Structure 1
Amino acid sequence: MTDICCIGHITRDRIITQDPPNTVHCAGGSAYYIAWAFQALPHDVDFHMVTSVSHEVMPEVEKLRKAGIRVTAFESETNVFFENKYGENMDHRTQRVLAKSAPFTMEQLKEEKARVFHLGTLLADDFAPEVVEYLATKGDVSIDVQGYLRKVVGEEVSSTEWTDKLRLLKHTAILKVNEWECQTLTSITNPFTAAEQIHDWGVREVIITLGGGGSVIYAEGQFYETPAYPPRHLVDATGCGDTYSAGYLYARAKGMSYAESGNFAAAMCTLKLEHTGPFSHTIHDVCKILSK
């Protein structure tokens, strides 16, 4: 039985930052950042990645496999291609989608067995509702909501309502949203009130990340506030939320409390912010942040 099965596309990314001005082309995607974060942590939590990629992105799968990550890769004719453009405030970005990939199917996932299925959604049609409901019969479903709130018209990305939210959140054990996603999902500006609303819709553990304001976790009727540890240099926020998810899921799988898991995840985010690309530090580096 796998501890954590992360399902999501590997993307081709174009990342544009302003301070300093820079453009980077690299692989990306929620599942990609999560997989590399788990590779960097002690391999005492059994992790499996399921992805769907085009032929040109298969070398990224091979890199993960050579690094010791178990990856199941299905073939897709096309591959997701994101352009992420950040303002001087790294909490603000605009996106374009230059290509899409095939959605995941129940047939692809029928053999998977895991305690937690984390869905690294990038676009609203990555997972049909029936697929989410099916996975919920096999283990806990963890969702990063970002993809469900993205509407693509041509190449432009805009926000949209998650039409199936009430149907699917009752099958969701863990939900992570950022501050903007939280307000879009609930129409509530207060994160504590919003967390209670999401919990009432059926989610067991609600995580709201607040950028430089840390994060709020709501579980078992209690709130847990975690800080944001300031990075030495703010370089690139791409994949930061995914790194948080990896840290949180790892810590929970290791038996840490909600607060400990939030702190651990926040410390990983701080280290990730200091460079472009996926998390590449060690658990000792995480512990150094936590000890300050």
Structure 2
Amino acid sequence: MDFITIGEMVIDFLPGQEEGSYIRNAGGAPANVAISAARNGLQAGMYCKVGNDDFGKFLLKTLRENHVTPLAPEMTDEATTTMAFVSLNEHNDRSFTFARKPGADMLLDKSEIRDEDLKDCRIVQAGSCSLSAGPAVEATEYAMARAKELGKLVGFDINYRNLMWKDDKKACTEKVLSILKYVDFLKLSDEEIDMVGGHDNLLNVMKEYDVAVAVLTLGGDGAEVFYDGKSYVVPGFPVSHVADTTGAGDAFWGGFLSCVLNHGVSSVDQLNVELLKEAVKYGNVSGSLSVQEKGAISSLPTREKVEKFLAEN
């Protein structure tokens, strides 16, 4: 297995063709990243747990249909869907989203993280959304620490959520910083950059925690990659019609990591500036393509789509 993600899955309900009808669609950043990696030619797996209900079964089914192996498919009796968020944009793309109770689908115990899975993969990726209260924190941190011990690459997507931390951003920031010592590849956006002391402090944080690469996503403006004490801005690719940005960041990160691994990288010693610029460019295309279609998973582009776009542009 090339790629393992750890984290949450959610369910989106998108508008159907008829008024009052909805299309059920699975999402969630770690799931999207895993599926993006699978569509980019990597063998992907995901550690997650879901509720023992129709929604939970649908989520696991979605993973399998998209060629992602559920590594801990045991279900919990807690409900997967306990909260509803309403969000309509000018394109009327998203109707409402049911998200799980914090930690309900991340009730992993660290004993369920298997060495045989970690030994078989090249990179382990997690997002801080999964760092909600309970055993999820220990399981995620253990997996990343163990992967590091085994000499694997470790990725981390900072994604702060008030909901998970009851508005205690200080506690969340402390947890994120405590995990950085395991991280090789760090992804963050302009919304999370302040958690590491701001843009001007990022290189210092990378040096302190020995983070090899950090990527700051800039939306339609592209991304900035920080590496070896310097930063490089790689322009984005504008799209003619932005239908729904859901999944765009996940598509970017999945595309970026896939490009790195498809070059045969298994150690940070094999990295160089040109490869990372290419990976950022590849990720930018993946993110740009994903916003042209509605939905999260349904919009994640394949490797063929990305390479076709690059060939034509």
TM-score in same-fold range (> 0.5): yes
Give the corresponding residue for 2:308: 288
Give the corresponding residue for 2:48: 51
Per the TM alignment, residue 82 of structure 1 is displaced from its structure 2 partner at its CA by 6.2
Per the TM alignment, residue 88 of structure 1 is displaced from its structure 2 partner at its CA by 5.8
Deviation string for 1:25-72 (max 9, x for gaps)? 53211122123323322x3x3322222111322223223324433222
CA distance in structure 1 between the partners assigned to 2:154 and 2:86 by the alignment: 27
Per the TM alignment, residue 171 of structure 1 is displaced from its structure 2 partner at its CA by 1.3
More deviation in 167-176 or 121-130?
Answer: 121-130
> Is 1:195 equivalent to 2:195 in the alignment?
no
Larger proportion of helix:
2
Give the corresponding residue for 2:268: none
Give the corresponding residue for 2:293: 275
1:5-84 correspondence runs (5 A): 5-13=4-12, 26-41=25-40, 43=41, 45-55=42-52, 56=54, 57-72=56-71, 73-77=73-77, 78-79=79-80, 83=85
Give the corresponding residue for 1:227: 235
CA distance in structure 2 between the partners assigned to 1:98 and 1:116 by the alignment: 26
Q: Give the TM-score of the pair, scaled to structure 2.
A: 0.76
Identity of aligned residues (%): 18
Gaps of 5+ in 2: 16-20, 92-96, 264-273
More deviation in 96-105 or 253-262?
Answer: 96-105
Q: Give the TM-score of the pair, scaled to structure 1.
A: 0.81
Per the TM alignment, residue 15 of structure 1 is displaced from its structure 2 partner at its CA by 6.7
Give the corresponding residue for 1:92: none
Is the partner of 2:254 in helix, strand or coil?
A: helix
Aligned residues: 273
Is the partner of 1:217 in helix, strand or coil?
A: strand
Gaps of 5+ in 1: 17-21, 90-94
More deviation in 211-220 or 77-86?
Answer: 77-86
CA distance in structure 1 between the partners assigned to 2:201 and 2:14 by the alignment: 31
Asked if structure 2 preserves the Cα contact closer than 8 Å seen for 1:15 and 1:85, the reply is: no
Structure 1 pair 132/15, CA: closer, same or farther in 2 (3 Å)?
farther
Asked if structure 2 preserves the Cα contact closer than 8 Å seen for 1:166 and 1:201, the reply is: no
Asked if structure 2 preserves the Cα contact closer than 8 Å seen for 1:9 and 1:51, the reply is: yes
Give the corresponding residue for 1:144: 157
Pairwise CA RMSD of aligned residues?
A: 3.1
Give the corresponding residue for 1:178: 189
> Is 1:165 equivalent to 2:176 in the alignment?
yes
Asked if structure 1 preserves the Cα contact closer than 8 Å seen for 2:5 and 2:46, the reply is: yes
- Tell me which amino acid in the other structure corresponds to 2:36: A
Is the partner of 1:142 in helix, strand or coil?
A: strand
